[in-house]
Structure 1
Amino acid sequence: MSEYFDKLPWFVKEYIHACRWSGFREIQNQTFKAFYSTDDHILISAGTSSGKTEAALFPVIGSLYNNPPESVGALYIGPLKALIDDQFQRMGPILGESELRITGWHGDISRSSKAKLLENPSGILQITPESLQNIISYSPEEVERLFRDLRFVVIDEVHAFMDSDRGLQLLCCLQRLEVLAHCSPRRIGLSATISDREDAAKWLSADTGRYVSIVYDGSTNDRRIRIHYNYLPKSDEETDSVERKKAVTRYYLELFRETHGYNCIVFTNSRQDAEVTAKSLRIVSEKKGYPDEVSIHHGSISKEYRKIAEERLKNPSVKNTTVATVTLELGIDVGDLDRIVQIGAPFTCSGLVQRMGRSGRRGNGQELILMCNEDEEEWWSTLDGVSLGLVKAIAMSELVLKEGWTEPPESNSMPFGLLYHQTMEYLRSGIGCKFSVLASDVLTMYPFRDIPKEQYRLMIKHLVNLGHLQVMSDQTILIGPNAERLVFGRDFCSVFSTKKEIVVKCDGKMIGSIQNLPQVEELIQLAGRVWTVVKISNDKSSIEVEECDGEACNPWRSGTPPTHTRIMQKILEVLSSDEDYPYIDDAARQRLAESRETARSIGMTSMFSERKGGFRMYPWLGTRQFDTLRRILQKVIGTDSIRSFQPYYIDIRTKLSEEQILDRVRDYAEEEDPIRLAYDEDLLKYGKYDRFVPESLLIRQFAVDRLDMDLDL
């Protein structure tokens, strides 16, 4: 053991001995050094099974035990209730008989447990951003008593917060808490392996004035990816396509061979794909004589069903395959996994790294099998004869394996919807204030640092006109009558929108939920099985079902994350080169050669390809820059002359030459204000509270945070 072992309290030492650790890992020793030798904030960036949680919590626990705080001493903030519950269970054996109290706090935690903390605040509080927001807003007078001796804030899954308004909300909460409680806690951020660690450190510090020590495990030598390619022909409506059935059967047999006998997760990019995959794989497994080998885990399945899947994965005596979406991407403990399978190229490189990181425990390397299916029934699976999914999968693998690259965070610099939310949260206690105080206390929060006071004043006037605020004769601002129902509602603390779904029950037990209300006797698919609807509740909020045979499809609507320009450029590099990739199978190698030949022959690798009456342009830009280019082309050539498939190509009907098109685009990008491109009213309101923001500010927000005039053409 290292020198830091002696600094830990006796019960942590007992835990370490019980786990038979031979020593600390390098990431842990580095963290301990930063913790004990500096007063810095600390950012720990490492893979899922690297031991970074213990690296952060062991010294925090030791500090609180050796010098008990007079209030809550440490906050652990996680993005998911399930992750908080999981960490709560993991902390029990570590704390042992220390009497150091740990309290969980979110919507599913009992009132009695919360009441004990309120009566005697101490120890460690595990909480979500929304619950922390509620404590600060509803009981600002209690914040100092609860947190006056707060010393540490541990933020888990920092990378999951950085790209969202939810992460900005968390920074607002922490800043407000520090002001109300007169404390200055040390922040410790836990993150997956990310390439842009300086930005993550800047986010973690957020104007606290304290330096951030970065502890990083950048090893990529133990990462392995294998890419398998499958071609699925289109069905013939008259014959139901025997060939397609054979191809689909071969694919699921291959998936069974790659997963049977292993503890593994099969990741998909959507809930619908997870349902189809789980059902089909379960059928193959049952035919092979292995029932109950396949589970499913996604956000529309009940907590109880998800828990069953998690417990099966953690059971070392049972080999289980769980088909999952992003819900198992974060660090919920699912035990030692043998391998990971990904169906189709994931949306982001950071997601690929995170999913791959779920394997590699027991000292083994991280292994991911990427199944690329070119399905002719999905029109987007090929692009002008090029196997889009395959080439993208190779490009992302190259970025991750050879360059260690992941997407940098792109949080909003003008989050006006969040500014509305924080303004109302500030006023929710019922004590009004003048505009100068609002501007001093709210507008100075880190997420609003780029918003001028004049724009905030415009927003306040707009809210007064809406009746969301009211101004008294002495200029005191209060919450207005038209906002009371919203602001004092139970969901106001969250800054992300959730769609209301139909609850699905069997024998009174909840299975999960779906978005669209079906009819009686209609078939639906959920939890990897098919059900027939037998009853619909009077208020149409729930349905009763029975399991049955058959085929069904109930798609869930959800957004697609943007693609970064670096990925698009790497796709172009893959198509333009003759490099061989040893991790792809023979079928993938042959299809890649065909795709390269096609891409070069039609001009895909040279930006412009001639079409009748104009060109097809392949700009190889990410989603944000691609959309900016499309909007510029509509301005300089004409809206009716532009058609696009984002972010891959733009069809241009024109008599202009290639160079003339590029000249017009470059001139516009250099001379014009991007605000002129923000004209889609529906697209302006992409945040939960944007509908209460003046349109002029939404246009500015869209131009700054959704467009990019820096086009490298």
Structure 2
Amino acid sequence: MTSPSATLHPTLAYHVANTLGWPRLRPLQSASLDPVASGLDALLVAPTAGGKTEAVVFPLLSAMETHGWTGLSVVYLCPLKALLNNLLPRLQAYAGWLGRRVEIWHGDVSGSRRQAILRDPPDLLLTTPESLESMLISRSVDHRRLLGDLRTVVVDEAHAFAKDDRGWHLLSVLERLTHLAGRPLQRIGLSATVGNPQDVLTWLQGSSAGNRPAQVIAPDTATESAPADVELDYVGSLSNAARVIAWFQGEKRLVFCDSRRMVEELGELLRGLGVTTFLSHASLSADERRRAEEAFAEAQDCVIVSTSTLELGIDVGDLDRVIQMNAPWSVASFLQRLGRTGRRAGKKRNCLVLALTHDDLLVCTGLLQLWSTGFVEPIQPPHSPRHVVAQQLLALTLQEGRIGDAMWPDWWAGLAPFEHHSAQPILDHLVQDGFLDEDGSWLQIGPKAEERFGRRHFMDLVAVFTAPPEFTVLHGGKELGRTDPALLTSSVTGPRLLLLAGRTWRVDWIDWRRRRCFVDPVDGTGGEARWSSTGFFGMSFPLTRAMRDVLLGATPPVRLTPRADDGLAKVRAEHADTVHQTGTVIVRTDGDLLWWTWAGYRANATLKATLGPLADPTHRVNDLNIRLRNDLTRSDWHSAVQGLSNDLRYPEVDERALSGLKFSTALPRPMAVETLSMRLADFSAAETALTEPARLMVR
């Protein structure tokens, strides 16, 4: 071992050198030793497979020994149970070298195992924020005894948390843990490359930001800056894509799709071509995913088709090739996927991008153009998490049995969403609407909270994200996964066929009350896969502007197949009148007057609301253009838009969309609608589009 290992505990340094056979630590691992061991808050940034886990665990294990920590001193949080399961044996081996213990706690862990953990807590506990919340509100867990020795919290895949409401839930729970422990807790995040790492670290620190020393540690950038072998192909259909993927015989291929339906359909096509194929997505059962991932890790000439579930740090072994179906929605996601390759000596990172349609080809080319500039999206936590504040007030009341109507802010120590002026109206509503009951100066759980969230010991209160109802699909008593109930109620001729786990099944019978569907396998194909889509606010301003740049002639420095070259030429010809070098374009197409903003979904939603009667109210918001009033003239436009950039409006929200905002029922209706509206807006991009010159191709 080289000199940086000297700061490791001697026993640990011995095993790193002799058991693991490492001649040296990686740059990130060396750079993190002193900051992590000395108690600094930190964000460790490195590409996929960059050694982040060891970079945080080795110095923490050394600190345990050096300072004689006892009890449960480290909680290690991950966004996925599968990632926890993947980490467990590795961390148990590392801790075992020092006589320390690591355990895991999530929804699939047996009750007897949990009781053993409570009787004799480990040194390090792997869990999810939702499982941590369930411990805090459970009457069978003495959380003060379990968590009283806590010193450090590690947040793996911190960027994945920070970008949505799970991040606000995580921060809220960490503040409650700090209050319970009675001491500041060291917070360490592990992250893939993000555009604003210092902001992410400040976010992770929560109420202690500015009061505790903190450091971004990101020395290992050589891998991501090294040239990558990226190729773009236009294939025209999913069946053509399957034939291209099958052509790489003898290689281990990981194929990313951005929908579960595409995973299933592509998996069935590949198996029909005789390719050994495994599948992974969130609606497959945990056992089905685990079997697929283990089999894939051990095989060689095979393919695993996955949604973003395998984008995170789950180890599926060495890969020869990553194949991306269409484009992911961010450069950060593309970097994560690209980083799955190039891990063996002498191998470069590589990715083959397959576009299915001309529209997909434009998005793919735009994303690759944006990637080639070195741009990575900044992480921006969602605006105004008022529904999370409501959930946390109820969760704290369950945790403590009752809370003081004036003392509750102490639990969050000034974390922004819980500041008195922001949170008090939410608390008042919870009391007025019966979610909380008043007893003098104390508040306790009320009847409406019992009715709305009380099933299964308030487990509905634990998960912040909303999942649409699905039916469990079983064959011979074995769970295969889950499917959309619409597939079981739609009109069909002949047997009802489902596509799940890459094969077709015939529905035998349905238990409507228990939401179960029993199936039998059939030969051949013809099954249908379908799931409800989640709330997604479309493409971003940087991505759509990169697409415009491509239409104007920019070409990313990647290899384009002749099919992609020909397809891109056709796309440019089709969109020739929708782009201009000096600004935006308003043009009449098939009778519609369209303003081609190339500004992204959220900006266009903001612009449509701001334009008011100038915009066609029947036009659904999209990423690229806004349909204007059909009789608009040049003079109408110029006079109407003067000064509009100083009077931007929040987008209108369909109240039916509130079903995607979990705990919105615990907010006053206008507040819930306003929260969604604020999240949908993009004032900066809207202002840019409004102030650019607009070429009007109208009468």
TM-score (norm 1): 0.88
Q: Of the candidates 315, 320, 323, which is equivalent to residue 302 of structure 2? A: 320
Q: Of the candidates 611, 614, 623, which is equivalent to residue 637 of structure 1? A: 614
User: Where does residue 571 of structure 1 map in the other structure?
Assistant: 547
Percent of residue pairs bearing the same amino acid type: 26
User: Where does residue 360 of structure 2 map in the other structure?
Assistant: 389
User: Where does residue 500 of structure 1 map in the other structure?
Assistant: 469
Displacement after TM superposition at 1:538 (Å): 6.0
CA separation of 1:33 and 1:503: change in aligned 2, threshold 3 A:
same
Does the 8 Å contact 1:685/1:698 carry over to 2? no
CA separation of 1:447 and 1:338: change in aligned 2, threshold 3 A:
farther
Does the 8 Å contact 2:278/2:296 carry over to 1? no
- Following the alignment from structure 1 to structure 2, what is the Cα–Cα distance between the partners of residues 704 and 154? 31
Displacement after TM superposition at 1:527 (Å): 0.5
User: Where does residue 341 of structure 1 map in the other structure?
Assistant: 323
- Following the alignment from structure 1 to structure 2, what is the Cα–Cα distance between the partners of residues 56 and 318? 31
SS in 1 for 2:599: coil
- Following the alignment from structure 2 to structure 1, what is the Cα–Cα distance between the partners of residues 662 and 527? 32
Deviations 1:648-671 (A, max 9, x none): 121212433357436534534413
- Following the alignment from structure 1 to structure 2, what is the Cα–Cα distance between the partners of residues 545 and 698? 41
Deviations 1:254-296 (A, max 9, x none): 22113x2112211111010001100001111x2xxx5xx1111
- Is residue 680 from structure 1 mapped to residue 680 from structure 2 by the alignment? no
SS in 1 for 2:207: coil
User: Where does residue 236 of structure 2 map in the other structure?
Assistant: 231
Does the 8 Å contact 1:151/1:185 carry over to 2? yes
User: Where does residue 464 of structure 1 map in the other structure?
Assistant: 431
- Is residue 303 from structure 1 mapped to residue 286 from structure 2 by the alignment? yes
- Following the alignment from structure 1 to structure 2, what is the Cα–Cα distance between the partners of residues 580 and 659? 39
CA separation of 1:687 and 1:280: change in aligned 2, threshold 3 A:
same
**Structure 2 matches for 1:586-597, cutoff 5 A?**
586-597=562-573
User: Where does residue 238 of structure 1 map in the other structure?
Assistant: none
Q: Of the candidates 343, 346, 353, which is equivalent to residue 361 of structure 1? A: 343
- Is residue 415 from structure 1 mapped to residue 373 from structure 2 by the alignment? no
Displacement after TM superposition at 1:501 (Å): 1.7
User: Where does residue 256 of structure 1 map in the other structure?
Assistant: 246
Q: Of the candidates 391, 395, 401, which is equivalent to residue 425 of structure 1? A: 395
CA separation of 1:62 and 1:659: change in aligned 2, threshold 3 A:
farther
- Following the alignment from structure 1 to structure 2, what is the Cα–Cα distance between the partners of residues 679 and 527? 36
Displacement after TM superposition at 1:467 (Å): 1.6
Displacement after TM superposition at 1:336 (Å): 1.1
User: Where does residue 59 of structure 1 map in the other structure?
Assistant: 59
- Is residue 483 from structure 1 mapped to residue 466 from structure 2 by the alignment? no
CA separation of 1:13 and 1:365: change in aligned 2, threshold 3 A:
farther
Does the 8 Å contact 1:418/1:495 carry over to 2? yes
Does the 8 Å contact 1:149/1:183 carry over to 2? no
1:420 maps to amino acid: A
User: Where does residue 675 of structure 2 map in the other structure?
Assistant: 701
Displacement after TM superposition at 1:188 (Å): 1.4
Deviations 1:85-128 (A, max 9, x none): 11112223323443201111111112333223322334101111
- Is residue 607 from structure 1 mapped to residue 589 from structure 2 by the alignment? no
Deviations 1:525-570 (A, max 9, x none): 0111011112223635222222112312121112235322111111
- Following the alignment from structure 1 to structure 2, what is the Cα–Cα distance between the partners of residues 412 and 701? 10
SS in 2 for 1:352: helix
Does the 8 Å contact 1:69/1:150 carry over to 2? no
- Following the alignment from structure 1 to structure 2, what is the Cα–Cα distance between the partners of residues 524 and 663? 56
- Is residue 13 from structure 1 mapped to residue 14 from structure 2 by the alignment? yes
Displacement after TM superposition at 1:141 (Å): 9.3
2:18 maps to amino acid: H
SS in 1 for 2:519: strand
Deviations 1:18-50 (A, max 9, x none): 3322211112122224335x5421111111111
User: Where does residue 88 of structure 2 map in the other structure?
Assistant: 88
User: Where does residue 697 of structure 2 map in the other structure?
Assistant: none
- Following the alignment from structure 1 to structure 2, what is the Cα–Cα distance between the partners of residues 142 and 360? 46
Does the 8 Å contact 1:8/1:62 carry over to 2? yes
- Is residue 689 from structure 1 mapped to residue 663 from structure 2 by the alignment? yes
CA separation of 1:314 and 1:685: change in aligned 2, threshold 3 A:
closer
Deviations 1:305-328 (A, max 9, x none): 21121112221x533210111111
- Following the alignment from structure 2 to structure 1, what is the Cα–Cα distance between the partners of residues 291 and 621? 41
1:553 maps to amino acid: E
Displacement after TM superposition at 1:11 (Å): 4.4
- Following the alignment from structure 2 to structure 1, what is the Cα–Cα distance between the partners of residues 90 and 605? 45
User: Where does residue 30 of structure 2 map in the other structure?
Assistant: 29
Deviations 1:206-230 (A, max 9, x none): 2212232111233322433111112
Does the 8 Å contact 1:11/1:96 carry over to 2? no
Does the 8 Å contact 2:613/2:629 carry over to 1? no
- Corresponding pairs, count: 668
CA separation of 1:622 and 1:419: change in aligned 2, threshold 3 A:
same
- Following the alignment from structure 1 to structure 2, what is the Cα–Cα distance between the partners of residues 373 and 225? 17
Deviations 1:470-493 (A, max 9, x none): 223x24322211212414422311
Does the 8 Å contact 1:106/1:127 carry over to 2? yes
Displacement after TM superposition at 1:603 (Å): 5.0
- Following the alignment from structure 2 to structure 1, what is the Cα–Cα distance between the partners of residues 74 and 82? 19
TM-score (norm 2): 0.90
CA separation of 1:603 and 1:500: change in aligned 2, threshold 3 A:
closer
- Is residue 118 from structure 1 mapped to residue 118 from structure 2 by the alignment? yes
SS in 2 for 1:99: coil
Deviations 1:118-166 (A, max 9, x none): 2233410111101111222336994443233322211100011001111
Q: Of the candidates 492, 504, 507, which is equivalent to residue 530 of structure 1? A: 504
- Following the alignment from structure 1 to structure 2, what is the Cα–Cα distance between the partners of residues 182 and 632? 49
- Is residue 351 from structure 1 mapped to residue 329 from structure 2 by the alignment? no
Deviations 1:173-224 (A, max 9, x none): 1111111111222221111111221221111222212232111233322433
Once structures 1 and 2 are overlaid, which stretch shifts more, 12-21 or 326-335?
Answer: 12-21
Q: Of the candidates 401, 405, 409, which is equivalent to residue 372 of structure 2? A: 401
- Following the alignment from structure 2 to structure 1, what is the Cα–Cα distance between the partners of residues 537 and 253? 25
- Following the alignment from structure 2 to structure 1, what is the Cα–Cα distance between the partners of residues 559 and 517? 47
Q: CA RMSD in A?
A: 2.5
SS in 1 for 2:406: helix
- Following the alignment from structure 1 to structure 2, what is the Cα–Cα distance between the partners of residues 182 and 141? 18
Does the 8 Å contact 1:159/1:192 carry over to 2? yes
1:85 maps to amino acid: N
User: Where does residue 696 of structure 2 map in the other structure?
Assistant: none
CA separation of 1:687 and 1:297: change in aligned 2, threshold 3 A:
same
Displacement after TM superposition at 1:638 (Å): 5.5
- Following the alignment from structure 1 to structure 2, what is the Cα–Cα distance between the partners of residues 490 and 584? 50
User: Where does residue 627 of structure 1 map in the other structure?
Assistant: 605
SS in 2 for 1:100: coil
2:602 maps to amino acid: R
CA separation of 1:612 and 1:686: change in aligned 2, threshold 3 A:
same
CA separation of 1:391 and 1:508: change in aligned 2, threshold 3 A:
same
Structure 1, unmatched stretches of 5+, are 233-247, 375-386
User: Where does residue 525 of structure 2 map in the other structure?
Assistant: 550
CA separation of 1:34 and 1:413: change in aligned 2, threshold 3 A:
same
